[in-house]
Structure 1
């Protein structure tokens, strides 16, 4: 056979070449996601036009025309209204937020005692951040300090005792009340919701009936009704001479309400676990609580992390309803300051509501992003 007809066999594998320039980078992403079809092109153009019309006006009102410093409403009002703005109302009146910031955080907590809630905030951050970082060791001790020790220490720091001046809870307010109610509600609703979910799936009729009744009754009424019942009706069932603090009533109401919803979230995760997991645990000779603690619940909770965080986010926002029982959370204390005649103007209420909404968004967005992080961290399918 001649050399010309001998087939050539490559002895080395060619290195992979990069994709064409049109298939990578920002241009490819725009073509693929925004300009792929005529409908996408139309929607993209409409969205850009809407943003071009709205965003400059928002930036102008929020930042450019905004008033950042001042001692009263005259810095945000028109000259006709006795102010210093010559051409109409100013943009956002951030001077109002700056002047009332301490109240927005601490409510009516005494000025000379505000170092106490400040210490509570610091302790909360110091214990929470390591718990959220997977690589930090001693998670068990960290959890005990955060969920068992910190609430006790915080109570005596905030309320008083052991030599500290007593500060009644009606003086608490602002972000302090929002964090206290939401943190206790989250810490109580998750374990209580797990117990309710297990009880609803129990084979014991009495236990199942009690859990089903509790869940369906609480889920069938709005939170505002639960808060009214906790504030007005709960004292009626207590022995004569007993009294429950109003903030404690709000915490109990929010925790009960969230527990019912959390129970259904956990139950969804339990139903998603294959039957073989239960049978495998039984074949190992594990008892009921061993099976749930070691095999079933870790998998179920991992599956329903989005639902759990969604419930937490809803609970955090629902804390604003405590204002109906005269407890002023962040939103309530902001609205209360609208009645201050020194800051009465057309832009003050909107500025205060934008500030409160931004604070709520920061916390809710943070919980949402951490939920996504934990989903990826716990899902081994994402690991390379």
Structure 2
């Protein structure tokens, strides 16, 4: 038996050496496994190298090798003076850099733009770094306090009232609009075939406006009394703080749980009072700089950041409204989304800039930049609604059913369970829309707003820098700026995706 075992199962000679494994890492591994491992990949590699040779090499030569770096006028960028074929004319960018950043913003007031940008970076960076604490406070400062501070820094001016006065003014404007609409309908009744019906509708609308007038009369009377005091801003601020703080205290549970809401409200209004005092908003504030003097990268950032920040809440509300069980809300959301997605952005900008003032009361006007911001926010919000709706559709019904079984309300289920998961699913789509919006801000130049590209085109008219390479240099510089911002948003979105999906295994 032992002889049979030894001869049948025991090897008598050594196994021959196996070939060394093919290296699959590093440059050699990349060449073997990806670039040169088949005839098709070899052909694609050759074509790719040729494309890089005919694109990257000329770009580097134009931007760096053959570029002119110093000079005081166009003479330094001319071939006959430089002695070689001149590429990029970087002295032109150095000379026009303030115009490309600030537009026509007064030079003595540009520190306000710098301060606004520094505040934005100081508040945004801690939000983007996950390990830093106090995200709630930081988000409140960035999304609520910073827009008001940035507006008064960039635009200037002061305030003559606060919450109660502003509320009374908006309600009074709404009332005037209703009365004006009633008068228009009454005017049409004299020449229409359905004159009795229009006459009735006109009087009903006018009576509604009169009713609203008497309903808001106590608030408007209080506003007039506040304006007659020696310190209308501070009186209005104190009254508004008292009303809001007491409301939060009562809604928060009164003596049992309303203390936190009361303390937060008081702290917020104290911070607002400090900002008003430091910026002198109660005494005229800073000198006013009209928005038609803004331009360059300033307008690009204002339009893009405002559109990004405001479009996402609009998109979330519309996406939830489109899935609502109430027919009126659902129909309104669908109509809104389909309307704004059915028209191009340039049409929206034209409508917001030139047509919107025709629908406003005669005593009310909206700044041109604000009109463009409203149009862009509504337009982008419609697209974001479909992105968010796709994320909501990816959440199984079992999530909502489990939350309902635990006794959670629809609001808590949506805010704490469904919406966070839905937004995590659509991060690439959301960031893609943000990147597209950042690049589409160049369309505002159509409606006489000088963004980065608009200021760049305006700088081409300066004969001091008129050279054959000026335009190419300017567009190359603008392209680099756009690429840096868009590439940064893309890489950060990948970081967020990896971090939020770290618990999943591929």
Report the TM-score, using the length of structure 2 for normalisation. Answer: 0.70
What's the offset of the Cα at 1:53? 3.7
Structure 1: how far apart are the matches of 2:443 and 2:56? 31
Query: Which residue of the partner structure matches residue 143 of structure 2?
Result: 147
Query: Which residue of the partner structure matches residue 310 of structure 1?
Result: 432
Question: Which runs of structure 2 are paired with 1:290-309 in the superposition (5 Å)?
Answer: 290-309=412-431
- Please tell me whether the aligned partners of residues 69 and 98 of structure 1 are also in contact (alpha carbons under 8 angstroms): no
Question: Which runs of structure 2 are paired with 1:282-293 in the superposition (5 Å)?
Answer: 282-293=404-415
- Please tell me whether the aligned partners of residues 96 and 348 of structure 1 are also in contact (alpha carbons under 8 angstroms): yes
Matched, 1:341 2:475: no
Question: Which runs of structure 2 are paired with 1:209-228 in the superposition (5 Å)?
Answer: 209-228=331-350
Structure 2: how far apart are the matches of 1:179 and 1:58? 27
Unaligned runs of 5+ in 2: 7-19, 158-280
Q: Measured at CA, do residues 95 and 45 of structure 1 come closer, stay the same or move farther in structure 2, by a change above 3 Å? A: same
- Please tell me whether the aligned partners of residues 70 and 95 of structure 1 are also in contact (alpha carbons under 8 angstroms): yes
- Please tell me whether the aligned partners of residues 197 and 263 of structure 1 are also in contact (alpha carbons under 8 angstroms): yes
Structure 1: how far apart are the matches of 2:303 and 2:58? 36
Query: Which residue of the partner structure matches residue 9 of structure 1?
Result: none
- Please tell me whether the aligned partners of residues 435 and 486 of structure 2 are also in contact (alpha carbons under 8 angstroms): yes
Question: Which runs of structure 2 are paired with 1:115-194 in the superposition (5 Å)?
Answer: 115-161=111-157, 162=281, 163-194=285-316
Query: Which residue of the partner structure matches residue 486 of structure 2?
Result: 364
Larger Rg: 2
How far does the alpha carbon of each residue in 1:269-323 deviate from its partner, in whole angstroms, 9 at most, with x for none? 0001111112111111111111100110000000000001011111111111110
How far does the alpha carbon of each residue in 1:143-192 deviate from its partner, in whole angstroms, 9 at most, with x for none? 11111111000011111123311111110111111111111111110011
SS at match of 2:334: helix
How far does the alpha carbon of each residue in 1:4-48 deviate from its partner, in whole angstroms, 9 at most, with x for none? 979xxxxxxxxxxxx936233331222111112110011112222
Q: Measured at CA, do residues 374 and 45 of structure 1 come closer, stay the same or move farther in structure 2, by a change above 3 Å? A: same
Query: Which residue of the partner structure matches residue 85 of structure 1?
Result: 82
Structure 2: how far apart are the matches of 1:5 and 1:56? 71
Structure 2: how far apart are the matches of 1:305 and 1:53? 35
Q: Please, which moves more after superposition, 157-166 or 170-179? A: 157-166
Structure 2: how far apart are the matches of 1:125 and 1:212? 37
Query: Which residue of the partner structure matches residue 259 of structure 2?
Result: none
Structure 2: how far apart are the matches of 1:356 and 1:382? 40
Kindly tell me the number of residue pairs found equivalent between the two proteins: 368
Structure 2: how far apart are the matches of 1:316 and 1:24? 38
Structure 2: how far apart are the matches of 1:312 and 1:55? 28
Structure 2: how far apart are the matches of 1:241 and 1:72? 49
Q: Please, which moves more after superposition, 314-323 or 42-51? A: 42-51
Structure 1: how far apart are the matches of 2:309 and 2:91? 36
Given candidates 476, 481, 494, the residue that maps to 1:354 is 476
Q: Measured at CA, do residues 221 and 76 of structure 1 come closer, stay the same or move farther in structure 2, by a change above 3 Å? A: same
Query: Which residue of the partner structure matches residue 255 of structure 1?
Result: 377
What's the offset of the Cα at 1:78? 3.7
Unaligned runs of 5+ in 1: 7-18
Q: Please, which moves more after superposition, 38-47 or 22-31? A: 22-31
Report the TM-score, using the length of structure 1 for normalisation. Answer: 0.92
What's the offset of the Cα at 1:228? 0.5
SS at match of 1:166: coil
Structure 2: how far apart are the matches of 1:168 and 1:271? 45
Structure 2: how far apart are the matches of 1:260 and 1:361? 25
Q: Please, which moves more after superposition, 259-268 or 282-291? A: 282-291
- Please tell me whether the aligned partners of residues 24 and 33 of structure 2 are also in contact (alpha carbons under 8 angstroms): no
- Please tell me whether the aligned partners of residues 107 and 172 of structure 1 are also in contact (alpha carbons under 8 angstroms): yes
**Which segments of structure 1 move beyond 3 Å, counting only runs of 4 or more?**
85-88, 381-384
How far does the alpha carbon of each residue in 1:197-250 deviate from its partner, in whole angstroms, 9 at most, with x for none? 000011111101100000000000000000011101111111112111111011
Query: Which residue of the partner structure matches residue 31 of structure 1?
Result: 32
Question: Which runs of structure 2 are paired with 1:91-130 in the superposition (5 Å)?
Answer: 91-130=87-126
